[in-house]
Amino acid sequence: MRQFLHRLTVSTRGRGLVEVTKPIANWVDEQAAATGLLTVFCRHTSASLLIQENADPDVRADLEDFFDKLVPEGRGIYRHESEGEDDMPSHIRAALTNTQLSIPIAEGRLALGTWQGIYLFEHRAAPHRRELMLHMLAD
């Protein structure tokens, strides 16, 4: 069993979903491993990870709209506002989603379904540079 580790930096434009499937898949391909398990870990408390449909952009828009309604922003709603009114809502959104994903590697590729993509979900309004750690155990 071999281990591989990589840090992937992702620039966001602010709140929303950023597909990261391609750079992750490219890194997996470079490792030339036939089978294994990839862990993708988001090193932030105001961003998260999702596996979601990547064919219809309306899915991403609907998810973003849903989270805006589920976890509203605004002064006085939450105690924790030290970094602005989007600060605590971003932490709640991250708590409701995932900060890590496990994805099987089969025949040297991510074993994602036909319409599945990997997304970084930026919960803050301002653009950020986010770090994802990729850790793969493989034969």
pLDDT of the chain, 139 residues: tens digit per residue = 999 999 999 999 999 999 999 999 999 999 999 999 999 999 999 999 999 999 999 999 999 999 999 999 999 999 999 899 999 999 999 999 999 999 999 999 999 999 999 999 999 999 999 999 999 999 9
pLDDT for the residue 93: 98
Sign of the Cα pseudo-torsion (61, 64, 70, 72, in order): negative
- Residue of 119, 115, 125, 100 lying closest to 13 (CA atoms): 125
Range of the domain at 113: 2-138
In total, how many domains does the chain have?
1
Tokens, residue 69: 């309604």
Give the CATH number, domain containing residue 92.
Answer: 2.60.120.460
